[in-house]
Amino acid sequence: MSILRILLVALFIQPAVASAELAEIVRVIDGDTVAVLSADRKMTRCRLYGIDAPEKGQAYGEVSKKSLSDLAYRKVLDVRLTGTDRYGRAICRLLLDGVDINREQVARGMAWVYRRYSQDRAYFDAEAGARSQRLGLWAGTNPVPPWDFRRQ
């Protein structure tokens, strides 16, 4: 195989390999953002794909952060990069032993499905379940989505 062909193959394979790796969650910033430390000691701030958690000053903001911390802090997870947001943050799915941590935050009533960015049916089903069971933020009478809270 020629050197050019090897380089072309490596170019196409590398993004797929780099998009999923094991990493430790070293900081939980809020209910939908974490800092991960990769095996090669690279720190990355990850915004969780498909969800939007209450803001820190919002009802359930601290509870949502604690929930994510209980699920992921100091654990080694499969971190799957799905893209970057307009602020340059990595957008990630977090998986622990096959459990989608992002979806779990929604199922616990700790986050909304971020409808603008997610089409994952499992996330919508998880939200509907949390809503019907009045879990987490759904226990309140009129929960305000974070995207509306930020606009106020």
- Cα distances (Å, whole numbers) of residue 103 to 17, 20, 26, 107, 131: 23, 18, 20, 6, 14
55, 93, 103, 104: the active-site residue: 55
Q: What average pLDDT score do residues 40-57 get?
A: 95
27, 80, 89, 131: the active-site residue: 89
Residue 8 corresponds to which tokens in the numbers above? 């072309």
Burial of 98 (0-12, 13-18, 19+ CB in 10 A): exposed
Helix (H) or strand (E) holding 10: helix 3-18
- Asked if 89 is an active-site residue, the reply is yes
Is 109's pLDDT higher than 80? yes
| Sequence-ordered alpha helix ranges (H) in 79-144 | 101-107, 121-133
47, 93, 103, 108: the active-site residue: 47
For residue 17, the model assigns a pLDDT of 30
Is 14's pLDDT higher than 80? no
The model's pLDDT over 84-100, given as tens digits with 9 standing for 90+, comes to 998 888 999 999 999 99
The model's pLDDT over 50-77, given as tens digits with 9 standing for 90+, comes to 999 999 989 999 999 999 999 999 999 9
Is 81's pLDDT higher than 50? yes
